[in-house]
Amino acid sequence: MSHDSTAAPEAAARKLSGRRRKEIVAVLLFSGGPIFESSIPLSVFGIDRQDAGVPRYRLLVSAGEEGPLRTTGGLELTAPHGLEAISRAGTVVVPAWRSITSPPPEEALDALRRAHEEGARIVGLCTGAFVLAAAGLLDGRPATTHWMYAPTLAKRYPSVHVDPRELFVDDGDVLTSAGTAAGIDLCLHIVRTDHGNEAAGALARRLVVPPRRSGGQERYLDRSLPEEIGADPLAEVVAWALEHLHEQFDVETLAARAYMSRRTFDRRFRSLTGSAPLQWLITQRVLQAQRLLETSDYSVDEVAGRCGFRSPVALRGHFRRQLGSSPAAYRAAYRARRPQTADRSSDTDGASGPAGPPPAIHQESPVPMQTRRTAAAGIVGASASMSTDSGKAGAELYAAGRASLPGQRSAQ
């Protein structure tokens, strides 16, 4: 479902200063930035597609530091404008920042602050959120970034309300997106906000992408623990939780194992991971249920018990909320997409004949030993295999004018 923004009323009422124009979009590039993320706003806002019904923007590509700017594969870029161009823009986009551990140039941060003060809409794609946070533009606001870096953003900027579940967050005059392709989602959202569903749908068809994607980042999240968190004593508790997902325990149990009060544990866990411990635990159980549905013949009731849910009803509710599907429907769709998997396995082993169903998993601890010491610190969700749609359902994603779907937190 969509989420309403908590943006302050004054943010919604902000107006552009006289020298800025709403149709001008400035893209701020830095050396070391990945070329894919950098190219997204250039393609969305820099190409004239008026013949397809997409209103034209005026693009100003600006260097945030002295050039030439080096990017992926050793390419060198020369931006036609410098920081002065930002003073004319109604929207300023910061694609992925080159390193979450290095501070952005202070001159660029000052330019972003001035642009915001003068009413410009500021956008951070992927790790561009770190630049916005360094400028102080995310203080007290909801924001997102690539799931892998969300814990670091939350830890480094505790006043930012980091939500690693969202594909993008629209907080009125400041917007952020998750990693890589989520930048396309946010840029389409901006076009939709400025010019309506029809224009955004026409642009999406030109780009051959869905006008809106369902779900959030949960389905793409990984179990790996960021290095800076992995040395923390709390990582031991996280590892224990993953080893015992088949048991019924709650956050109080985890707090006791950490020798902390529930309040202290909640605060410490959120500061390290950017996630509330209860939501993290529920999502870990959903992830394990997803894996059992993919690789075993257990019934849904049995899967619920082996993932620590108190009842199949609880599993179904959490599974549907996080993945947009019932457990049974997910299993059917997964197996329909992989009808030849077992055949290929048989061929590899030198066997012949028709393939049978996937073997059931009969292990007490569902988490492989090699993953227990690198437990997930962020909210973990389903695998990226769910992102592939087939047949008519996939084609319908490209139809314009669809209703609002999960994964987009918006002020609209």
Check residue 119 and give its pLDDT. Answer: 95
Closest CA to 284 of 307, 303, 311, 305: 307
| Cα separation, 95 vs 39, whole angstroms | 9
Q: Please, what's the b/e burial string for 75-114 (b: 16 or more CB within 10 A of its CB; e: otherwise)?
A: eebebebebebbbbbbbbbbbbbbebeeebbeebbebbee
| Cα separation, 356 vs 342, whole angstroms | 7
Check residue 178 and give its pLDDT. Answer: 92
| Residue 135 pLDDT exceeds 70 | yes
| Cα separation, 343 vs 90, whole angstroms | 56
The bridge status of strand 174-177 relative to strand 168-170 is: antiparallel
Under 8 Å between Cβ of 49 and 191 = no
Token pair recorded at residue 35: 């070329």
Three-state SS for 211? coil
| Residue 263 pLDDT exceeds 90 | yes
Residues 384-393: pLDDT tens digits? 333 333 333 3
How big is the chain by its Cα radius of gyration, in Å?
A: 23
| Cα separation, 27 vs 59, whole angstroms | 8
Reported as type and span, the H/E element at residue 114 is helix 106-117
Please state the rounded mean pLDDT for residues 184-209.
94
**Percent of the chain, pLDDT > 90?**
45
Cα angle value 382/384/387 (rounded, 5°):
105
Please state the rounded mean pLDDT for residues 235-249.
87
| Cα separation, 277 vs 42, whole angstroms | 39
320 band by pLDDT with thresholds 50, 70 and 90: confident
Check residue 401 and give its pLDDT. Answer: 35
Higher pLDDT: 39 or 342? It is 39
Residues 394-410: pLDDT tens digits? 333 333 333 333 345 55
Under 8 Å between Cβ of 197 and 390 = no
Residues 120-132: pLDDT tens digits? 999 999 999 999 9
Under 8 Å between Cβ of 379 and 283 = yes
Edge-first strand listing for the sheet containing 174-177: 3-4, 408-410, 168-170, 174-177, 121-124, 89-94, 21-29, 58-63
- The residues facing 176 across adjacent strands are 124, 169
Residues 153-176: pLDDT tens digits? 887 898 898 887 789 999 999 999
| Residue 60 pLDDT exceeds 70 | yes
Please state the rounded mean pLDDT for residues 181-198.
95
Q: Where are the strands (E) in 33-127, listed by range?
A: 58-63, 69-70, 76-77, 89-94, 121-124
Please state the rounded mean pLDDT for residues 76-101.
92
- 226: Cβ–Cβ under 8 A, 6 or more apart, which residues? 148, 149, 151, 152, 377
265: how many CB neighbours lie within 10 A of its CB? 21
CA atoms within 13 A on the CB side of 320: 8
| Cα separation, 246 vs 288, whole angstroms | 9
Under 8 Å between Cβ of 363 and 306 = no
Check residue 386 and give its pLDDT. Answer: 31
Closest CA to 96 of 137, 51, 36: 36
**Percent of the chain that is helix, strand, coil (3-state, to 5):** 45, 10, 45
- pTM for the model stands at 0.60
Please state the rounded mean pLDDT for residues 342-360.
39
